Amino acid sequence: MNICFIMYPWENIDAENDTSLALIRECVRRKHGVAMCTPANLTIRDSVTNAFCTVIGRMDKVPSTLKAFYRKAELREEMLPLAGFDAIFFRANPPLDPIMLNFLDSVKDDVFIINSLQGMREANNKLYTAAFGDAHSNIIPNTHVSKNKDYLIKQIKDSKADKMILKPLNGFGGSGVILIEKSAMSNINSLLDFYITTGEGESNYVILQDYIEGADQGDVRILLLNGDPVGAMRRVPGKDDHRSNVSAGGSVQKHTLTKAEKALCKQIGPKLVKDGLYFVGIDVIGGKLVEVNVMSPGGITYINKVYKNKRKVEEKVIDFLESKVIDKLQAFDRRTRLRKAVDEA
- Nearest in space to 276 (alpha carbons), one of 115, 164, 155, 135: 115
Task: Give the Cα-Cα-Cα angle 52, 56, 57 (nearest 5 degrees).
Answer: 125
3-state secondary structure of 94: coil
Q: How confident is residue 214, by pLDDT bands cut at 50, 70 and 90?
A: confident
Check if CATH label 2.40.40.20 holds for domain 2-114+314-329.
no
Lowest-pLDDT range of 50-59, 184-193, 259-268, 273-282: 184-193
Phi/psi class of residue 190: alpha, beta or left (left: φ > 0; alpha: ψ in -120 to 50)?
A: alpha
* Predicted model pTM: 0.86
Going 300 to 301 to 302 to 305, the CA torsion angle's sign is: positive
Where do the domains of the chain lie? Answer: 2-114+314-329, 142-210, 216-309
8 Å CB contact between 23 and 13: no
| Amino acid 161: pLDDT | 82
| Amino acid 244: pLDDT | 52
Share of the chain above pLDDT 90, in %: 65
Q: What CATH number belongs to 216-309?
A: 3.30.470.20
219-225 and 143-146 as β-strands: parallel, antiparallel, unpaired?
unpaired
Q: What are phi and psi of 90, to 5 degrees?
A: -85, 120
List alpha helices for the chain, DSSP H.
Answer: 19-29, 66-72, 98-105, 117-122, 149-158, 185-196, 259-274, 300-307, 313-343
| Amino acid 225: pLDDT | 98
Q: How confident is residue 95, by pLDDT bands cut at 50, 70 and 90?
A: confident
3-state secondary structure of 123: coil
* Residue range 92-103: mean pLDDT, rounded: 91
Q: How confident is residue 42, by pLDDT bands cut at 50, 70 and 90?
A: very high
3-state secondary structure of 117: helix
Say whether 216-309 and 142-210 share the same fold: no
Cis before 94? omega within 30? no
Long-range contacts of 332-339 (CB under 8 A, 24+ apart): none
Residue 330 has pLDDT above 90, yes or no: yes
Average pLDDT value for the chain:
90
Class of domain 142-210: alpha beta
8 Å CB contact between 246 and 302: yes
3-state secondary structure of 214: coil
Q: What are phi and psi of 342, to 5 degrees?
A: -70, -45
Q: CA–CA distance from 274 to each of 99, 113, 122, 143, 227 (Å)?
A: 24, 14, 12, 24, 9
* Residue range 17-29: mean pLDDT, rounded: 97
| Amino acid 190: pLDDT | 87
Residue 2 has pLDDT above 70, yes or no: yes
Q: How confident is residue 283, by pLDDT bands cut at 50, 70 and 90?
A: very high
